[in-house]
Amino acid sequence: MTEIGDRANRSAGLGTWRHLGGRSYSTLHKFIEYSATGTFNGATVITREIELSKTGDEFTATTTFENFDANDQLFNTGCATSTATRFE
């Protein structure tokens, strides 16, 4: 899995996705954070559980994230939910 970052001070997210069965999937990816001067600030790990609709045109997802500092120490966690609809 590749996720493109939306800020200049972070790397692309790299990780994996897998089919859990039926319409359920999970993803795990990590990206690196940098300061404005290019110094390594730490990393973020994102885990997502995705459920597709019966038609495959929509999904709901539950996401958790973990933020690590430059010494690989966990300093923040959080979660979110999201929905999406396919468009043409």
Task: Provide the residue ranges of all domains of the chain, joining segments of one domain with +.
Answer: 2-71
Predicted local distance difference test score (pLDDT) of residue 4: 84
Predicted local distance difference test score (pLDDT) of residue 28: 97
Predicted local distance difference test score (pLDDT) of residue 34: 92
Q: Give the pTM.
A: 0.84
Predicted local distance difference test score (pLDDT) of residue 14: 92
Token pair 């459920």 is found at: 51
pLDDT tens per residue, the chain (88 residues)? 888 877 778 898 999 999 999 999 999 999 999 988 889 999 999 999 999 999 999 999 999 999 999 999 999 999 999 999 999 8
Retrieve residue 46's tokens: 């994102």
Query: What whole-number distance in Å separates Cα of residue 3 and Cα of residue 68?
Result: 19
